[in-house]
């Protein structure tokens, strides 16, 4: 465990959900929305989120894996297999970016804007239209905290409305994001897996299975390994490829999320065929889908 993680203290670990960032970050807001009765715990890195959950300092962790506008966020395929943690849920967060500044600032006084690279990317058209100079920051909420500390009417932050409330900033412009279809997908991790019964989920909910597999080095191996999903009518929702360690000599790994439960016969058949063409298949989690995924 890192020394940073070792210093994190919480009052009620089993009622705590950890996230990467600082108080007021979009991940903090997502935790509060997904688990409104739990206290949130800010961690300096994704690795620290995994470590506090593994160490029992938090019952759950929430990690962003992709954004509808900016693409991949966290490389969970590198982090999760190195632990004994499991994906136990997902959460779709509608991202609302606000332009936040100290009291007394106006749109006319703002010259510089600070935010996480993802926040700047998701608001790039509006930033350009407003002729603002963008500066990258480690976190959207950290940017908001420093803008409040500087108290300079020429400086603003792009962050969540929650950050504006927490740090006493004025909202100069709501909905700074370039697209209203701006959603970040989070996965929820825990020490123990869940095993939802696909026949017992309420309101027509569905079960997802996420796995990581390493293909064998043979011609057309990806085509062959995925054939079972097509022939068994199993819906693949996400498929990403990775080269472990960035070394081309290594066999490619694939991160895959499918609709269904491993106990269901079509999924069983598809996974069995997948196994013929893989060196290794690791199930990272079987969990309920967020209803927003299929709405």
Active-site annotation holder among 16, 40, 184, 257: 184
HSE-up of residue 172 (Cα within 13 Å, Cβ side): 24
Domain check: are 26 and 75 in the same one?
yes
Instruction: Note whether residue 260 is domain-resident.
Output: yes
Q: What is the CATH number of the domain that holds 285?
A: 3.30.70.260
pLDDT tier at 24, thresholds 50, 70, 90: very high
pLDDT per residue as tens digits for the range 214-265: 999 889 999 999 999 999 999 999 999 887 665 555 567 899 999 999 999 9
Task: State the CB neighbour count (10 A cutoff) for residue 107.
Answer: 12
Instruction: Note whether residue 79 is domain-resident.
Output: yes
Its pTM stands at: 0.86
pLDDT exceeds 50 at position 6: no
Domain check: are 102 and 90 in the same one?
no
Q: Domain span at residue 105?
A: 98-173
Active-site annotation holder among 19, 186, 229, 254: 186
Active site residue 186: yes
Domain check: are 274 and 218 in the same one?
yes
Structure tokens at 290: 């967020």
Domain check: are 75 and 151 in the same one?
no
Q: What is the CATH number of the domain that holds 68?
A: 3.40.190.10
- Average pLDDT of 108-119? 94
Complete DSSP assignment for 201-234 = -GGG--EEEEEEEEE-SSTTHHHHHHHHHHHTTP
Instruction: Note whether residue 38 is domain-resident.
Output: yes
**Which of 276, 280, 261 minimizes the C-alpha distance to 228?**
276
Instruction: Note whether residue 20 is domain-resident.
Output: yes
Instruction: Note whether residue 197 is domain-resident.
Output: no
Instruction: Note whether residue 129 is domain-resident.
Output: yes
Question: Is 129 exposed, middle or buried, given 0-12, 13-18 or 19+ CB atoms closer than 10 A?
Answer: exposed
CA dist list (Å): 250 to 33, 71, 172, 239, 279: 40, 24, 50, 19, 12
Enumerate residues 6+ apart whose C-beta is below 8 A from 229: 235, 236, 258, 270, 274
Active site residue 184: yes
* Number of compact structural domains in the chain: 3
Domain check: are 166 and 207 in the same one?
no
Domain check: are 90 and 102 in the same one?
no
């Amino acid at each position: 465990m890192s020394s940073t993680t070792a210093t994190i203290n919480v009052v009620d670990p089993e009622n705590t959900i950890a996230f990467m960032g600082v108080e007021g970050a979009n991940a903090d807001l997502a935790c509060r929305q997904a688990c409104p009765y739990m206290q949130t715990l800010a961690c300096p890195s994704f690795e620290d989120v995994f470590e506090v959950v593994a160490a029992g300092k938090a019952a759950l962790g929430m990690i962003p894996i992709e954004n509808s506008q900016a693409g991949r966020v966290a490389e969970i395929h590198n982090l999760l297999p190195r632990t004994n943690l499991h994906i136990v849920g997902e959460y779709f967060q509608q991202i609302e970016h606000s332009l936040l500044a100290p009291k007394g600032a106006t749109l006319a006084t703002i010259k510089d804007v600070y935010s996480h690279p993802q926040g700047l990317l998701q608001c790039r058209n509006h930033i350009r239209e407003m002729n603002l100079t963008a500066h990258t920051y480690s976190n959207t909420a950290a940017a908001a905290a420093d803008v409040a500390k500087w108290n300079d009417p020429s400086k603003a932050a792009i962050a969540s409305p929650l950050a504006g409330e927490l740090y006493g900033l004025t909202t100069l412009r709501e909905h700074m994001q370039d697209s209203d279809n701006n959603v970040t997908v989070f996965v929820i991790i825990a020490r123990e897996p869940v095993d939802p019964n696909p026949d017992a989920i309420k309101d027509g909910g569905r079960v997802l299975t996420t796995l990581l597999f390493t293909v064998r080095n043979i011609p057309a191996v990806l085509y062959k390994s995925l054939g079972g999903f097509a022939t068994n009518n199993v819906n693949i929702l996400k498929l990403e490829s990775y080269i472990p360690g960035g070394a081309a000599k290594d066999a490619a790994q694939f991160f895959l999320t499918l609709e269904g439960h491993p106990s269901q016969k079509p999924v069983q058949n598809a996974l069995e065929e997948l196994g013929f063409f893989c060196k290794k298949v690791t199930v990272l989690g079987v969990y309920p889908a967020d209803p927003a995924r299929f709405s």
